[in-house]
């Protein structure tokens, strides 16, 4: 079997990357952070028009007619640029909630962990949000509420697409660390020439590729246990790579002006929001 991306899949990933680079580049990201993290309805509608939310809907229902393998490629790109909003919940609701597929409705969902992101910006809340209270979020672009008494299990698609976003963060952190190591000089040479920095960057690449392979494999098989394993690896890659990226950047990485801390904070939130590491490990262990 050939698991390389097809020409159509490569074009899809490139097209989404170009769209997001044009509409949510670094300047837009920093403006969103400085502006308090409100949801951009214009961008949301553009995503809908581009087929972001209707990607897996059949063509006869107004969708694009693609599958999970294509969806994880798209959500990896969204994770790479830290695109804000309840993207996964709205995507999963496409076809079930009017306006979700077109990007004219924002849908959020109560997670089994009792967390509810973007409650105030959403048009539709799926799940019982009674008693929801706002809590301080470590991520300035993910407002959170906590809901008492939540439970159950997240949909496998929700877990997998969240894992794909984590892979996007892991990849961004790897590329940012390598780029910085190639141009930052210490003691008369670029820091990328030091063995310790090389090892950090190599470890980041290994974690990213391992998590990406697991996510892609789970997208093909649709297996719940493989999805849990993919989320476990993706969470580890996103959080560990963001920390190592900070290490490579040194003191510069810890400043508010750098973007590394934003990726670390988003990775923490994604890891806690859907199938945290403890539960994911239990699901994999039970299957073994």
Q: Per residue in 63-81, pLDDT tens? A: 999 999 999 999 999 999 9
Band the pLDDT of 193: cuts 50, 70, 90: low
Helix (H) or strand (E) holding 279: helix 277-287
Backbone angles phi, psi at 76, to 5 degrees: -65, -40
- Which pLDDT score is estimated for 134? 96
Q: What is the pLDDT of residue 190?
A: 78
Q: Which of 199-203, 248-252, 269-273 has the lowest mean pLDDT?
A: 248-252
Residue 185 has pLDDT above 70, yes or no: no
- 87-101, 145-159, 202-216: segment of lowest average pLDDT: 145-159
**Residue 22 zone, left/alpha/beta (φ > 0; ψ -120 to 50; rest):** alpha
Window from 64-68, 69-73, 162-166, 180-184 with minimum mean pLDDT? 180-184
Q: What angle do CA 279, 75, 247 make, to 5 degrees?
A: 70
With a cut of 80, say whether residue 55 has pLDDT above it: yes
Residue 256 CB burial class (10 angstroms; 0-12, 13-18, ≥19): exposed
- Cβ neighbours of residue 175 closer than 8 Å, sequence gap 6 or more: none
The pair phi, psi for residue 97, each rounded to 5°, is: -115, 120
Q: The dihedral of CA 137, 143, 148, 154: what is its sign?
A: negative
Query: H-helix or E-strand containing 116?
Result: strand 115-117
Q: What's the pLDDT at 270?
A: 97
Q: Which band of pLDDT confidence, cut at 50, 70 and 90, is reported for residue 1?
A: low
Confidence bin at 184 (pLDDT 50/70/90): confident
Q: Phi and psi of 140, rounded to 5°?
A: -65, -15
Query: Model pTM?
Result: 0.95
Residues 37-56, mean pLDDT to the nearest whole number = 93
Specify the pLDDT at position 186: 73
Q: What angle do CA 13, 16, 18 make, to 5 degrees?
A: 110
pLDDT confidence band for 245 (50 / 70 / 90): very high
Q: What is the pLDDT of residue 165?
A: 98
Cα–Cα distance list, 193 to 171, 242, 286 (Å) = 21, 21, 44
């Amino acid at each position: 079997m050939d698991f390389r991306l097809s020409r159509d899949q490569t074009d899809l990933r490139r097209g989404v990357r170009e769209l997001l680079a044009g509409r949510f580049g670094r300047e837009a990201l920093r403006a969103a952070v400085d502006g308090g993290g409100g949801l951009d309805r214009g961008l949301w509608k553009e995503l809908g028009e581009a087929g972001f939310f209707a990607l897996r809907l059949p063509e006869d229902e107004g969708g694009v007619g693609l599958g999970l393998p294509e969806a994880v490629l798209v959500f990896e790109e969204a994770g790479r640029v830290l695109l804000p909003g309840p993207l996964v919940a709205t995507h999963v609701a496409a076809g079930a909630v009017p306006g979700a597929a077109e990007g004219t409705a924002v849908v959020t969902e109560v997670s089994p962990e009792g967390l509810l992101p973007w409650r105030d910006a959403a048009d539709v809340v799926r799940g019982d949000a009674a008693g929801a209270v706002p809590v301080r979020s470590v991520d300035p672009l993910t407002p959170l509420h906590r809901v008492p008494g939540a439970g159950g299990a997240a949909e496998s698609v929700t877990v997998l697409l969240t894992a794909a976003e984590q892979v996007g963060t892991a990849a961004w952190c790897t590329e940012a660390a390598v780029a910085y190591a190639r141009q930052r000089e210490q003691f008369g040479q670029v820091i990328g020439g030091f063995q310790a920095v090389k090892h950090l960057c190599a470890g980041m690449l290994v974690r990213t590729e391992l998590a990406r392979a697991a996510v892609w494999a789970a997208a093909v098989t649709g297996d719940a246990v493989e999805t849990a394993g993919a989320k476990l690896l993706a969470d580890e890659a996103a959080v560990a790579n963001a920390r190592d990226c900070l290490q490579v950047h040194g003191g510069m990485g810890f400043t508010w002006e750098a973007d590394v801390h934003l990726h670390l904070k988003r990775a923490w939130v994604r890891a806690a929001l859907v199938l945290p590491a403890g539960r994911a490990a239990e699901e994999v262990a039970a299957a073994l």
